[in-house]
Chains A and B, each alone.
Chain A
């Protein structure tokens, strides 16, 4: 009878294949010339290039941040290729023109982009390395006035909308990685939901890194006009490689009066191997602005991948009565490190925020929750509820919690709850004594622990999230 609850078996990452496709890759290195080249390849207007260059010049002066509770060697920004695209193009009019190898890749990942095989009621934008290769259901969405396309396309087709909102939530000089992204971002999704429209289907973007020695710098912008509603989901994966690859994305959300944006992430970038070789550095800036009265932004994230995760999806609650939510499950197994949480900035009156964070550490994983709740002077009657729960599997992992609270209005109500539990032999034994296998027992206990977050995910993806969690923790209990 083994009594240890430690990792014995390593399950291979199931999305680690490489698609053999001819791609056009810009040689490694970053300079104004490279930025000009990217901008030119995208056929961008002059203002966009100017904005990129401004961001780049700022970035050059910024130090790489090291306050997060993660450790990694120096990143050589000149060794990264900033643009990789499958050869083919120019513009695709229909999916028939998409390279079958690309369709096959997404099919293998469980993301069918041929509409006849579509996920019921989900429109998909598929991004492969630096470019968007296909966006489904565009015509259907157009009927409702909803714009859903690659951001590079939006810059060309809807320049006024993009110019009005791009960088309005995450400025080009917001932080080191956001500045880098602003300079070199290649693709991502753009969504605009017009006044009073409830987007008729879930929108989703699937990001796939394929090429070697490249970074992925996508940028997503979602604008929900007055009284509209949209639910958006992103998923991602990458091949197994010994090198670390950088993924520095920026996501900006804008919700106007009474608008609601629900943004869900299932992050499954390659986490590196058992010894910590390889894996994605996931350094991401995500922020939403509840600009309008009674607007609402809800972030739900399930972070199971990446060697290092550094992200704090936040909400700026500007509009009176606006609501911000953050529901998170972060899993670190083997040598994975995550420093993640949220920022809730209360500016408007009667603004409310809810934070539910579940951190699961196994193997030698290190999991940090870092969150800021800030109540500004004018935020009368603001309310926050935070709950941070950590679960430890085994005795070589770590859980850390850094909740920052900054209250400048005495009418605020703050609640904070935190717990740390160790998945115990007793719990597993109890389930086993009822006939369940160790794996099923752990999966059940962990899923129960994460339930409050999973119930926030769109139905189609809640199942996927549970399955993914099972895979990430496979072998963590003997």
Chain B
């Protein structure tokens, strides 16, 4: 169903070319190349400090990072020239590694504001609270939550796992074209991981794509990736199929570093 080569390849959704980015004057990304097509799931793995999260943040437009060279095309448009909110409205979603709390604002209010900002951008009618709640009920069930989570302030007092689940709820509600999940699997127990992974898997369609940034193989047992990349030293040093992830699980990353040096 999701196997590579068994079906027509989708249109290119994201094209990253020789991307260099730095934070506080320190270069973190040193020439990343990545092509993601509609209908694909890419896993980006790599050791700590390899630049995985930086790549996710740069794609979303975090102001703490400066792009020093390279190009990113999203649906053929210059993504780097777009403001973060414009990227979001165009269908780029980042599930944060460390979701931010917003005091005094309920989850339901925040979600509706986000949905309506995007609807407004598309020229669609904004949703009232009642209509929105109806649509939300279904999505809640998918991640196994009851409606009490909607009246709680955004991520405030949430456990690490709850925060991650909340990101996935937002993902399900906003239904983006390109979802970037930044270590959504870390800090989740086995059951939560399963729910989160299954939700993401259910959202797979021929017209959307997912980039999973992860440390661990285990999430890939629930979501089968089309391509696995290894990021090391700010570059993608190796790409392959699912079997590459298994190999990493067994051998760790050190062998790749050596390989990268040789290359």
Q: Does A415 contact B (CB under 8 A)?
A: no
Of residues 1 through 38 on chain A, the ones whose CB sits less than 8 Å from some CB of chain B are 1-3
Q: What is the size, in residues, of chain A's interface with B at 8 Å between Cβ atoms? A: 26
Contact with B along A424-451 (1 / 0, CB 8 A): 1111011111111110100011011111
Q: Does B130 contact A (CB under 8 A)?
A: no
Contact with A along B93-120 (1 / 0, CB 8 A): 1101001101111000010011001100
Which chain A residues lie closer than 8 Å to B83 at the CB level?
1, 432
Q: Is the CB of B63 within 8 A of A1?
A: yes
A430 to B93 Cα, complex, angstroms: 11
Which chain B residues lie closer than 8 Å to A436 at the CB level?
85, 113-114, 117
Closest Cβ of chain A to B216, distance in Å, is 24
Which chain B residues lie closer than 8 Å to A424 at the CB level?
100
Q: Is the CB of B84 within 8 A of A432?
A: yes
Q: Does A114 contact B (CB under 8 A)?
A: no
Q: Is the CB of A452 within 8 A of B88?
A: no
A302 to B25 Cα, complex, angstroms: 43
A304 to B88 Cα, complex, angstroms: 32
Q: Is the CB of B102 within 8 A of A427?
A: yes
* Interface band, chain B: 20 to 34
Which chain A residues lie closer than 8 Å to B60 at the CB level?
429, 433
Q: Is the CB of A450 within 8 A of B100?
A: no
Q: Is the CB of A426 within 8 A of B100?
A: yes
Neighbour of A1 across the interface among B61, B117, B118, B174, CB < 8 A: B61
Q: A3-B63, A432-B88 are in contact. Are A437 and B117 (CB under 8 A)?
A: yes
Neighbour of A440 across the interface among B89, B93, B117, B121, CB < 8 A: B117
Which chain B residues lie closer than 8 Å to A3 at the CB level?
63-64
Q: A435-B121, A447-B104, A449-B104 are in contact. Are A430 and B63 (CB under 8 A)?
A: no
Q: A3-B64, A429-B62, A429-B84 are in contact. Are A434 and B110 (CB under 8 A)?
A: yes
Closest Cβ of chain A to B149, distance in Å, is 17
Q: Does B170 contact A (CB under 8 A)?
A: yes
Closest Cβ of chain B to A100, distance in Å, is 38
Which chain B residues lie closer than 8 Å to A427 at the CB level?
100, 102
Closest Cβ of chain B to A238, distance in Å, is 30
Which chain A residues lie closer than 8 Å to B66 at the CB level?
1
Which chain A residues lie closer than 8 Å to B113 at the CB level?
434, 436, 440, 444
Neighbour of A444 across the interface among B85, B102, B118, CB < 8 A: B102
Closest Cβ of chain A to B153, distance in Å, is 7
Which chain A residues lie closer than 8 Å to B110 at the CB level?
431, 434, 444
Which chain A residues lie closer than 8 Å to B102 at the CB level?
427, 430-431, 444-445, 448
A430 nearest CB neighbor, chain B only: B100
A433 to B64 Cα, complex, angstroms: 14
Q: Is the CB of B105 within 8 A of A448?
A: yes
Closest Cβ of chain B to A416, distance in Å, is 19
Of B83, B103, B113, B117, chain A has the most CB atoms within 10 Å of the CB of B103
A261 to B256 Cα, complex, angstroms: 73
A437 to B86 Cα, complex, angstroms: 9
A128 to B260 Cα, complex, angstroms: 78
B95 nearest CB neighbor, chain A only: A433
B109 nearest CB neighbor, chain A only: A444
Q: Is the CB of A448 within 8 A of B153?
A: yes
20 chain-A/chain-B pairs, Cβ below 8 angstroms: A1-B63, A3-B64, A425-B64, A427-B100, A429-B62, A430-B96, A432-B85, A433-B96, A434-B170, A436-B113, A436-B114, A437-B117, A440-B113, A440-B117, A444-B110, A448-B102, A448-B105, A449-B104, A451-B104, A452-B104
Known: A433-B61, A436-B114, A449-B104. 15 other contacts (CB 8 A): A1-B63, A1-B66, A425-B63, A429-B60, A431-B110, A432-B83, A433-B87, A433-B96, A434-B88, A434-B114, A434-B117, A435-B85, A448-B104, A450-B104, A451-B104
